[in-house]
Amino acid sequence: MGKSKRHFSSRVKFKIVMEVLTGERTPAQIAKAYGVHPNSIGYWKKTFMERGPEIFESGGGSERERRIADLEQLLGKKEVEIALLKNFLGRGE
């Protein structure tokens, strides 16, 4: 039987990445201590380095807030489409 995939919370991932960035231990040592594959740590570090600047963006809001705004806009468009279709179907009867 294969191993089941483990999931780590965002807090644990952040803690691990911060340990890697401090350089007190090697990524391999950290991986062994937490029971994580070293490749996962490399991926988390890369993701953190790429997305880190987003934390300090002014007025940008979080990714979740942007996603909610996008979905609200899509919902509004769909409501307009539904109203137009109802109106169109109402005239045909």
Residue 4 lies in a domain: no
Residue 34 lies in a domain: yes
> For the chain, what is the domain count?
1
pLDDT > 90: what percent of the chain?
Answer: 51
Residue 3 lies in a domain: no
pLDDT at 24 over 80: yes
Q: Which of 1, 2, 31, 37 is nearest to 16 (CA)?
A: 31
Residue 70 lies in a domain: yes
Query: What does the block give as tokens for 35?
Result: 């029971």
Summarised one tens digit per residue, pLDDT across range 60-86 is 567 788 889 899 999 999 999 898 898
Residue 61 lies in a domain: yes
What is the structure's pLDDT at 22?
A: 92
Any idea what DSSP says for residue 3? P
Residue 69 lies in a domain: yes
Range of the domain at 55: 10-92
Residue 86 lies in a domain: yes
The burial class, CB within 10 Å (0-12 / 13-18 / 19+), for 20 is buried
